[in-house]
Every structure is written in structure tokens, then in C-alpha cells.
């Protein structure tokens, strides 16, 4: 069974631009969560989607948004990029929304210049 895939793997953007990252969960998994990883703040929860609905949201500004499609694939969008948004963005999928094992993708490395 294929693991969680994320595209693109690397991205360079300029301040003020917007970016869309994509995540394909493991087949059969309906819950997708997004995390931001930085050296200073570590791994921080962004949001969780289940059955196309945002179920939970972390403490991030409204510039960070996401959505989930009927096939469970998910996208996250960051608008008006800031230098501090440079990070590794990780997607994790699980069978249900009640947590249990979350399987992570390799992440998308976003650099904002």
C-alpha cells in the first residue's frame, strides 16, 4: 500500500505570494492533518480534515487554510507569505478522526525569500 505523498517536495516563494501544497493520504484513510515544522517551534498542529470538513484547528493566523476533497486528498494554502512561514509542512493521514496512528508524508520544504 502506498504511503502518504506530498507535492511538491520543495518550493521557493517570495514574500507576499501565496502557495498551495497537496497531500494524498494512504488509500482508505479519511482523516488528514497538517503540521508545520520549524527549528524554533518544532512540530505544530495546523488543522485536521475528515470527510471534507475541518474538525480541528491549531493556533495559526487565517492566512493558513485548507480543504479536503471527496477522495480524501487535501490541500493547504498560505496567502501573503512571510519569511517566518519558511518551514517543513507535513501531512499525516489516519483511518478515522479519532486519532490513533497517524502516518506522515515526507513533507514539503517551503522557503520564503
Rounded distance between C-alpha atoms, residue 33 and residue 101, angstroms: 12
- Minimum Å gap between C-beta 105 and another protein is 5
CA dist., res. 14 & res. 94, Å (int): 33
Q: Report the chain's terminal Cα–Cα distance, integer Å.
A: 37
> Near another protein by CB under 8 A, which window of 11-19, 65-73, 79-87, 98-106?
98-106
Q: State how far the Cα of 19 lies from the Cα of 112, in Å rounded to an integer.
A: 10
**Shortest CB 16 distance to another protein, Å:** 28
Instruction: Assess whether the previous peptide bond of 8 is cis (omega < 30° from 0).
Output: yes
Q: Tell me which of 14, 42, 62, 83 binds another protein, using CB under 8 A.
A: 42
Task: Kindly state whether residue 102 participates in binding another protein, applying the rule CB under 8 A.
Answer: yes
Give the interface with another protein as residue ranges (CB under 8 A).
4, 31, 33, 35, 42-45, 48, 50, 55-56, 58, 90, 92, 97-107
Amino acid at each position: 500500500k502506498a504511503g502518504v505523498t506530498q507535492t511538491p517536495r520543495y518550493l521557493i516563494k517570495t514574500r507576499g505570494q501565496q502557495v498551495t501544497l497537496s497531500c494524498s493520504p494512504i488509500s482508505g484513510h479519511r482523516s488528514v492533518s497538517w503540521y508545520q515544522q520549524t527549528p524554533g517551534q518544532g512540530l505544530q498542529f495546523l488543522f485536521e480534515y475528515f470527510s471534507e470538513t475541518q474538525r480541528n484547528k491549531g493556533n495559526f493566523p487565517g492566512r493558513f487554510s485548507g480543504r479536503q476533497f471527496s477522495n480524501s486528498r487535501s490541500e493547504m494554502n498560505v496567502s501573503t507569505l512571510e519569511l517566518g512561514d519558511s518551514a517543513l509542512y507535513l501531512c499525516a493521514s489516519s483511518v478515522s478522526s479519532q486519532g490513533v496512528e497517524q502516518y506522515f508524508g515526507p513533507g514539503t520544504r517551503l522557503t520564503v525569500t
